[in-house]
Chain A
Amino acid sequence: MKIKKTLALLLSLVMAAGLFSACGKSNKPTNAEKKDVTITVWHQYLPEVQKAIEDAYASFTQETGIKVQFVKQEELSKKLEVGSQSNELPDLVAGPNDWVGKYSIMGGIVSVDGLIDKKVTDGLMESTVKGFTYKGKLYGIPATFETVTLIYNKDLIKEAPKTTDELIAKAKELTKDGKYGFLIPPTDAYFNSAFFYGAKGGYLDADGNPILNKAENLEAAKILTELGKLYPKDLNHQLVSQLFKDGKAAMMINGPWELGGIKEKKINYGLAKIPALSFNKSDASPFMGVQGMMMTSAAKDKEAAAKVMEFFANEKVAKALAKTGGYMPANKKIYEDSEIKNNPDVVAFSEQAKVATAMPNVPEMGAMWDPISKALQEIVVLKEAPDKVFEKYQKAAEEAIKNMK
């Protein structure tokens, strides 16, 4: 019977594939022989950044004998989630610090307390280490941090405004003839965080409770509503960056990942701190995300994996990340390096970072993005009354957090 034969063939194929996949997994020998260890790291850097990181790790492998294999993964966060169910995980993952709460609870990543040399963490900016600390335990080694800042086109505006009142006035003055004074993706909770945290309101308190209905947030909403009147309709990340790169926007709030494209288009740009809030005279305080390496529950050779993590904060890697990806290193020493010190972009972003708010790493933050972005949509785009909107989404956020459990 043809079909039976084919089925048998198929079955054997299936089994062969199973064998292959079993062999394909990274080999994890005992501690005694360090020579043959290969540590696998999943990450989501662009290919050219990965290459720079790999080059930096060459000397590490030479010294320790530990081989490191970097694999770029799409949908890394989802993979961590489903993978932790069946422990189909690499040894390490590189990602943002807001994964810490969620994946430590889910059992995907484990604490590295006691595995990391204190000298290493001492050499890093405190706020970045804090970003990887959850419930008093260290879960990762920070390598870089990123935040958004004010990016302006010097040909359109000579000097960046210092206060939000100035910002609004300038934005109004410069929005004309198809050009825009100031742009920000209106519904993005990350980009707009500067005003909410500057107003001393915010999204979440330290215990992970939503605080959208805090009175101070209304002040932030006022500023954003004023600015929102000047935006083109259907503004989003892509459009903000494109208008700026086309020389049609005088100012925007954006991150270091945009600089490459801006330079390519030869825009005469400058960086400045996001204007301070006029009503309370305090600095605008955007979210600061930290990128680093975390250990998964599947790591067998924890000592070797910890060494790989430590090296991720090393100056060599830090330099590679700063140069190829425009990332701000967490390693303090790097800022004494003349090449970095004289780089105005890095200096400007690190100035902004000094007044930034570390992105919460509690799992509750994961449930906040959607309600916040909906609230921003109603306030800034649809121009509805902020107090009512905040009350509504405070409730929605509370329910969303309840629904996580």
Chain B
Amino acid sequence: MKSKAARKLIPYFYTTPAMVVMFILVIYPIFFSIYISFTNMNMYHWKKYNLIGFDNYIRVLTSLDGEFYAVVLRTIIWTVINLVIQVSIAMGLALLLNIKELKFKGIMRTLLILPWAVPSYISALIWKGMFNHDFGIINILLSKLGLSKIPWLTSPVYGMAASIIANVWLAVPFMMIVCLGALQSIDHTYYEAADIDGATGFHKFFYITMPLIKPALVPAVILTSFVTFKQFDIIYLMTNGLGGKTDVVMTYAYNKAFTSSNYSLSSAFSVIIFFILLGLTILNMRLTKADKEV
């Protein structure tokens, strides 16, 4: 029907509209930000700005005793802890919901994903209220159980813990659904074969389930790790950085540059955050060979 050459063009024809939109709305803002990060676009040069070289980058990287590095390190720890907890809980729930004999699956599943329907800024404010020392429901429950109250929002360690709990709460549903989808796509014959061989549940999970669902989880984990690394609402609204002690890169950049309308400095921040995240992800993909599985 069609010539070979024309057939070769079909994929490009199908991808072009999406590419154009991607180019305008995803790639252009990145290049624009890179450009702006080399200018002096701040409130004193708001309408007319010019190139000034690496000034903004030097500022970010040499600020007050190198506090930026501490913030980056904290953000990495925050992201790793969050992901480990999220994936374990999500996987655990998915495995439970996947038990054949279980009843009321549909209703339980729906109830478990409800947090997803709440916009994140609303979740942050709600959890802030719930973690309040004397009037939050969590400490009230703790003291009813005879435990002592926890200073959730005043101590940096607990502040971080509270933020992690809130973040896990709103992120688990997505991960759980991804896990469930992946679990259900596994062919049952694998397990039946393993049963005959007398494999334990433990063995089945690590030798059948994990390898088979890994490819499905990798993109979800990558997307979630980006969202977590760039998390702003939860930490800002719940702890407001607690004197800088719970700052992650986004809240730090927001306070350092965005509030004072120094757009070139905040662009430098976003470019640096972008490349840190890219570097970490590519490194991680290489190490775990996840990129081969796409």
Contact = CB atoms under 8 A, between A and B. Distances in A.
A contacts B directly in the complex (CB < 8 Å)? yes
Interface of A: 3, 7, 81, 84-85, 102, 105-107, 187, 232-234, 239, 363, 366-367, 369-370, 373-374, 377-378, 381-382, 395-396, 399-400, 403-405
Residue of B243, B255, B257, B261 with most partner-chain A CB within 10 A: B243
Given A106-B43, A405-B44, A234 B133 contact: yes
A184 to B, nearest CB: 16
A363 B154 contact: no
A399 B65 CA distance: 12
Main secondary structure of the interface of B (DSSP, over half): loop
B115 to A, nearest CB: 22
22 contacts: A81-B261, A102-B43, A102-B261, A105-B44, A107-B47, A233-B133, A233-B153, A234-B131, A234-B151, A363-B43, A366-B261, A367-B260, A381-B154, A382-B243, A395-B64, A396-B64, A399-B64, A400-B260, A403-B59, A403-B265, A404-B44, A405-B44
Contacts of B244: 374
B200 interface: no
Interface string B68-105: 00000000000000000000000000000000000000
Given A370-B255, A382-B243, A395-B64, A232 B46 contact: no
B132 interface: yes
B154 A3 contact: no
Given A84-B46, A239-B132, A396-B64, A366 B151 contact: no
Given A374-B244, A377-B243, A403 B261 contact: no
Given A363-B43, A404-B44, 9 more contacts: A102-B43, A102-B261, A106-B43, A367-B259, A374-B241, A377-B242, A381-B154, A403-B262, A404-B43
B134 A233 contact: yes
Residue of A105, A187, A404 with most partner-chain B CB within 10 A: A404
A200 B40 CA distance: 36
Contacts of A366: 259-261
Interface in B232-267: 240-244, 255-257, 259-262, 265
B127 to A, nearest CB: 12
A105 to B, nearest CB: 5
B63 interface: yes
B152 A106 contact: no
Contacts of A102: 43, 261
Nearest to A376: B243
* Size category, B interface: 20 to 34
Interface string B27-70: 00000000000001011101100000000000100011000000
Given A233-B151, A239-B132, A404 B63 contact: no
A163 to B, nearest CB: 29
Given A366-B259, A382-B243, A7 B43 contact: no
Which 7 A/B pairs are nearest by Cβ-Cβ distance?
Answer: A233-B133, A106-B46, A377-B243, A374-B243, A234-B133, A234-B153, A232-B134
Contacts of B259: 366-367, 369-370
B135 interface: yes
A400 B46 contact: no
Contacts of A3: 17
Contacts of B59: 403
B154 A85 contact: no
Contact of B43 (A105, A232, A239): A105
A399 B153 CA distance: 27
B256 A403 contact: yes
A404 B260 contact: yes
Contacts of B135: 232, 239
Contacts of B255: 370
A3 B46 CA distance: 41
Contacts of A405: 40, 42, 44
A356 B8 CA distance: 75
A105 B284 CA distance: 45
Contacts of A105: 43-44, 46
Nearest to A108: B46
Nearest to A402: B59
Contacts of A363: 43
A233 B139 CA distance: 12
B68 to A, nearest CB: 12
Contact of A234 (B46, B63, B152, B257): B152
B256 A400 contact: yes
Interface in B114-160: 131-136, 151-154
Contacts of A381: 154
B200 to A, nearest CB: 47
A191 to B, nearest CB: 15
Contacts of B63: 399
A384 to B, nearest CB: 9
B64 A404 contact: no
Residue of B47, B59, B64 with most partner-chain A CB within 10 A: B47
Contacts of A81: 261
Contacts of A373: 240
B119 to A, nearest CB: 15
B96 to A, nearest CB: 35
B140 to A, nearest CB: 13
A234 B154 contact: yes
A262 B83 CA distance: 45
A183 B175 CA distance: 43
Contacts of A404: 42-44, 260-262
B239 to A, nearest CB: 10
A404 B135 CA distance: 39
Contacts of A7: 17
Residue of B44, B132, B261 with most partner-chain A CB within 10 A: B261
A179 to B, nearest CB: 12
A243 to B, nearest CB: 9
Contacts of A374: 241, 243-244
A369 to B, nearest CB: 8
Residue of A234, A369, A370, A399 with most partner-chain B CB within 10 A: A234
Contacts of A367: 259-260
Nearest to B247: A374
Contacts of B17: 3, 7
Contacts of B151: 233-234
A75 to B, nearest CB: 13
A396 B17 CA distance: 48
